[in-house]
Every structure is written in C-alpha cells, then in structure tokens.
Amino acid sequence: MDIMSQSVNQELIEFLDNSPTCFQAVENFRKMLKDAGYSELLECEKWEIVPGEKYFVTRNDSSIIAFSVPKKDFNGFQLICSHTDSPSFKIKENAEMDADGKYTKLNVEGYGGMLCAPWFDRPLSVAGRIAVRTENGIETRLVNLDQDLAMIPNLAIHMNREANNGYKYNIQKDMLPIVGEASSKGKLMKLVAENAGVKEEDILSTDLFLYNRVKGTVWGLEKEFLSAGRLDDLQCAFASMKGFLGAVPGESVPVCAVFDNEEVGSSTKQGAASTFLESTLRRLNGALGRTEEDYLSAVAGSFMISADNAHAVHPNHTDLADPTNRPAMNGGIVIKYNANQKYTTDAVSAAVFKLFCEKVNVPCQTFTNRSDMAGGSTLGNIANTKVSLNTVDIGLPQLAMHSPYETAGTKDTGYFCEVAKKFFSSSVQMKANGIYEIR
C-alpha cells in the first residue's frame, strides 16, 4: 500500500468511526465543507447565489448537497450521488424492557436489509438525534453515547442444536440487546440527555440507532484490505466529497449529493426520490437569473455518477458470481450493469465513465448479476425520475455487504478520489444525439 493510499484510508477510517449514523455523517460533511470555505444555505430562506462562490444545503440533518458555481452561464451539472444510511437497528420509543426481572433490554426494529448474524456478541452503542423542547418550539441535537453500552447475546449451541444448520432470525425475539441489569431500567434516556446537554424531561422524541463499536482496521499480509462498519455507502460518499473538495471547476457546476434512506427505498422527503435534488438545482438556476429553458438544456447536457458500493467475488462462493464479470477488491472502480435497469448504466454512460478512468490512469471493472439470480438496486434510477440525465452506476468492490463490519480494498478509495476529482473538474457536453464531448 503506497503512502497516498495509506493516508486516504486513515482519513476514511476516522470518518467512519466518527459517523455512526447518517446524522453524524452529514455533520462531518458539513464541517469539511465549512473548513473549505463553503457557505450554508437554508431551504426555508431565499437564496442569494454569486458566481465564483461555493455552497451547501442539508435536509432533515441526514442528506446534504454541495455545489460551486464557476460562472453564471454554466453548461450543465456534474453530479455524483451516494447515500448516508446503512442497515441497522432503530431503537423504538419507550424502548427499555424488563427481561425476567434480571436484565434490561432494548426494544428495536430492523432498518434496511441487514445481515443479522454478525450483530451478535460484539459491543454496541447508541447514536442518532433527539428532538428537545425549547422556549419557542423544538430543536434537534445529535447524540453519540460512544461507549460499550449494549450487546445482543447469541443463544448457546446447547439450546439450539440447529444453529449451524441455518436459522431464521426473529428480530422481536432474537435480536434485542441487553443494556444492563434490571436495576438499570430507566437510565438510558438519562444518559442520552446528559450526552446532549439537555434535561431528560425536555426530550420529546428520538431517532436513535444501534451501531457496531469495533473500530475500522487495515489488515492482510501486505495491508491489502480495510474493514469497518458502514463502508456501504460511506466509502463512496467520503471519496466523492474528497474529490469534490479537491476539484477545480470548469464549464459546469460540480454537485456532490449524499442522500438518506437508500436502504429502505429512497421514498422519503430526504431520499433520492424526493424533491431535494431537483429543487436545489432549480433554485440554483433561478437565483442566477437563468430561465427555465436554461435549466432544462443544462440538465440535458449534464452527467451523473450514482456511486453505491458493489459486490466483489466472494473467495468462498466464487460460483455465485457472473461467469465473465467478476470484480475483485483493489481491482479498480466497478461499473454496474443490469438489463432490467436496476442500474442506470448504458453504453453511453459506461463509455463516458471509462474515459474519466483513463484520464487519471485508474482501473475499472464490471459487475452484473448471474442471469439466474436477482440483485439489488440503488439510487441512480430513482433520482433519474426527478432529474433525468445520462447516468452511470458504479461502486467500490467489497465483501460482506450489509454486515455491521464490511471489507474493502485499500487501493479503491484512492482510485475513486482521483476519478471524482477529475470528473468534478470537467464538463460532459452533449453536442448532438449520440455525440458527447468531455472538456
């Protein structure tokens, strides 16, 4: 692993460790942008946009869009979209439960399609946000208890002899974490209030989640691999933002968008199916005094990279991968294809992305599902229903997707940082049907 990759991976691990939920991830992106001189816009206020300046806007504390404006008569938008959320367990209201008069456990429900088994027998904590009473209404506060607080204990093999022969987990019965003895009941919200610096009685509601406390690490005989929680999709989101902040905008407006709720379908006010991206681009266009016709022509000449991690071939299950499209960790950025348009990639968008990889000497690979296996989907085709433009679906190759501890290659984050930087510094222009120019 070279020095540049080592530096990027350490930054990524620190970012992941400090981003236990989507709320902390957005707050960390906010800090990165402010440190780089970006001004924050509020959706509830009128926007004043000045050519040559840099801006960002958030929605719901869990989605963020950043952009810079090189000039009033820009050509189009250069977008990279990713997501902040990961599968986890959301803590229900009135969560503390008695267990046989001996223990206190938490009532939780699943968020997204997680792998359940890896959540057992490892230290967990609680993070998210709370809504608290103020003199004039409410205010949200971020919370990260940042301590080994809970654990979901496995049932001993002696009481479940079929455990190694396949087991269907019931979240309501099998997956409730212990947080203390019976005498601890009632103390969780006291701890939350203390962490947020508020009175317990002022907490009106919560968005709190469990998260895995095991820190990220680089490992392998030659330090080839990186494991951490929430690589899907904060690895892509982080690399996108790094490339965005390192870019020098050209003829187009670079836009880095990171949405919430991809893992549950994106159909929320802050998801890729919401108005967030479209309204941001329209308001940017209008604030510069440009017309609706200007907006529509700009979108038609724009390009989007939908960045959400991809499956590497599993070394113990090589037969589950497609016979000819077999991505490997450290093999480069993965272009994802699907005939039924679960991914947006087509010949044009794949060709454009391959050219960007060539420009910075970064390898790329391809992924398709086996033809007899259904795969997942992502946010690209959903975002396209609101803002329709040429889009390619890509990802960084990983193993154990949707586990609380996932694995990726140590070269691939740096690869995407370089491509994102070049992409955000460029402009993809449609000259005629089927003819595109990259500047």
The CATH number that applies at residue 104 is 2.30.250.10
Question: Using one digit for the tens of pLDDT, what is the confidence trace for 49-82?
Answer: 999 999 999 999 999 999 999 999 999 999 999 9
What is the Cα–Cα distance from 95 to 188, expressed in whole angstroms? Answer: 9
CA angle 270, 18, 142 (to 5 degrees): 55
What is the domain-level CATH number for residue 35? 3.40.630.10
Q: 84: closest CA among 131, 13, 16, 143? A: 16
Residue 2: how many CA atoms within 13 Å on its side-chain side? 8
Residue 399 lies in a domain: yes
Write down the residue that tokens 């230290």 correspond to. Answer: 123
Least confident range from 282-296, 316-330, 335-349, 423-437: namely 423-437
- The mean-pLDDT minimum among 149-153, 336-340, 414-418 falls in 336-340
Is 60 exceeded by the pLDDT of residue 274?
yes
Token pair of 434, please?
A: 């089927």
Claim to verify: residue 185 and residue 119 sit in the same structural domain: yes
Q: How far apart are CA 422 and CA 130, in angstroms?
A: 39
Is residue 275 located within the same domain as residue 175? no
Query: Do 43 and 119 fall within a single domain?
Result: no
Q: Which pLDDT score is estimated for 390?
A: 93
Q: How confident is the model at residue 101 (pLDDT cuts 50, 70, 90)?
A: very high
**223 in any annotated domain:** no
Tell whether 423 is covered by a domain.
yes
| Cα–Cα distance for residue pair 29/427, rounded to 1 Å | 24
pLDDT for residue 166: 85
In the chain, % of residues over pLDDT 90: 90
Among 181, 212, 243, where does a domain finish? 212
Residue 290 C-beta-side C-alpha neighbours within 13 Å: 26
DSSP for 155-193 reads: PPGGG-TTGGG-----HHHH-PPEEEEGGGTT-HHHHHH
Residues 236 and 359 in one domain: yes
Residue 23 banded pLDDT, cuts 50, 70, 90: very high
Number of domains in the chain: 2
- Of 212, 238, 255, which one is at a domain's C-terminal end? 212
Confidence of residue 439 (pLDDT cuts 50, 70, 90): confident
Q: Are residues 32 and 163 in the same domain?
A: no
Domain boundary among 159, 183, 212: 212
How far from 337 is each of 190, 383, 391, CA to CA, in Å?
49, 17, 12
Query: Does 219 fall in a domain?
Result: no
- State the average pLDDT over residues 160-168: 87
pLDDT band, residue 433 (cuts 50/70/90): confident
Q: What is the pLDDT of residue 335?
A: 97
Q: Across the chain, what does the average pLDDT equal?
A: 95
pLDDT score of 4 more than 80: no
For residues 391 and 378, is the Cβ–Cβ distance under 8 A?
no
Can you name the residues that pair with 207 across neighbouring β-strands?
Answer: 129
User: Which comes out higher in pLDDT, residue 168 or 55?
Assistant: 55
Which residues lie across from 44 on neighbouring strands?
none
The mean pLDDT of 2-24, rounded to a whole number, is 91
**Residue 162 pLDDT level (bands cut at 50, 70, 90):** confident
Query: 194 in a domain, yes or no?
Result: yes
Look up the domain containing 331 and give its range: 3-86+229-438
The CB density around residue 388, as the number of other CB atoms within 10 Å, is 13
Report angle CA 149, 153, 158 to the nearest 5 degrees. 160
375-416 pLDDT, tens digit per residue, is 777 888 899 999 999 999 999 999 999 999 999 999 999 999
Give the pLDDT mean for 169-191: 95
Q: Is the pLDDT of residue 1 over 60?
A: no
Q: Are residues 195 and 241 in the same domain?
A: no
- pLDDT score of 3: 60
Question: Does the structure show a pLDDT above 70 at 315?
Answer: yes
As a whole number of Å, the CA-based R_g of the chain is: 22
**What is the rounded distance in angstroms from the CA atom of residue 226 to the CA atom of residue 222?**
11
Confidence (pTM): 0.96
My answer on whether 237 and 188 are in the same domain is no
Are the beta carbons of 184 and 213 closer than 8 angstroms?
A: no
User: Are 253 and 383 contained in the same domain?
Assistant: yes
Sequence-separated (6 or more) residues with CB below 8 Å from residue 368: 322, 325, 336, 337, 338
